[in-house]
Chain A
Amino acid sequence: MIVASGAPGDPPNGGSAWQYERADDEVGRGKIELSDVSVGYGDETVLEDLSLQVERGDFLCVEGPSGAGKTTLLRLLYGSLLPRAGVAVVDGVDLGSLRPRHVSRFRRRLGCVFQSDELLPHLTARQNVLLPLQLAQMAIDEPDERADQALEMVGLADKAGTVPPELSGGQQQRVAIARAIAHEPSILLADEPTGNLDAVSTADVMHAFQAFHQEGGTVIMATHDESLRDTYARRVIRIAPRRGRAA
C-alpha cells in the first residue's frame, strides 16, 4: 500500500491534514512511486501502464525518442497533468487525489528546470531567484540568504547583480537551477536542461545538479545526451513511444 502523507494508514492527502511543513524523515519524502499510470492530453493517451520507483537521493535520467512522453512524465510529476489510471505518489503526495487548490502547495516541494531558461530578463540573477521564493514561500526565513546560498551552490555568487541578457546560456540555466533549489526541495525535475548549451556550459550546469544531488536531493532529468546519462545518472529509464513502461 502506498501512503500519501502523514503517518502510515492516514488517508492520502486527507483534507486539512495535508501540511506544507514536513519533517525531513516524513514518509515518502524525496521518493516517487508510479504504479500502472496512464496519462495524456485530451483523447490521446501518451503514457500507458507506466510503473516506476525512485528512492530519495536517486539521480535518474529519462530517455526516449522525441514524442515518447518524457516531458509528459515530468508534467505528471509536477502536477500539471493528473493520472488517468494507476497510482502516482510524488514526495509523499498522491497525485490522483490532489485537489486543484493544493497544486501550488505541492509544487513548492519540488524544483523544476526546463530547456529554455525562462528567466525574467528585467530582473537580476539574484532577483530571479528571490522573487518566486518570496511570493511562493510566504513564511520562509531569510529569503535573501537562501537566494545567495542557491547562487553560490551553482557557482554564480559573483553574478548575482547581473541581468540574464548579460549572462551566457549556461549561466542563465544555472540561475534557473538556483531558483529551482532555493527553497530546498527534495526533488528536482529537469526537462532537457542542457539542450541548448555548449559542452563547457553543460558541464557547469551538470555540476550544479550534482551539487544538489550530493546534498541528498532526488534528481529526475529528461535528456537526449547519452554522455550525460553515462556520466551522472545512477539509474536510467527508457520510455518507449505510445506505450510506456520503465525499464
Chain B
Amino acid sequence: MLILHCPHCGVDAEETELAPGGEAHLKRFGPGSSDAEFESYLFHRENPRGVHFERWRHAFGCGKWFIAARATDTLEVFGTYRAQTAAPPQDIRDAITAKRPGWAWRDLA
C-alpha cells in the first residue's frame, strides 16, 4: 500500500485514489529532433531498483498532477512536489541523500 501526500490539496492519499502517470522529468523531443532522440523520448524508460521519480495524479481528489520521489524496492516515499517543477527541488534531493547516500537516477545524483 502506497500513501502519497498530494502537494496541491494536502491530502495523504491512498494509492487507489491516485492514477499513475509514468516516469517524471521526461524531456520532450518533437518535430525537428533526430530519430534516436524521438525514439528515446517515446520508449526509453528507467526501471530502477531503488530511487525513482514518478508522475501521479490525484484522480479521485483535486485532480492535479504531482511528482513523487520514492524507492521502488521498499515503497519508501522521500517526498512529493508539484508537477510544474522542472527538476527535483533541493529538499527532496537532500531527503533522498540522507536515506540513500550515493543514489543516482538518470543524470541526477
Question: Are A and B co-members of a single complex?
Answer: no
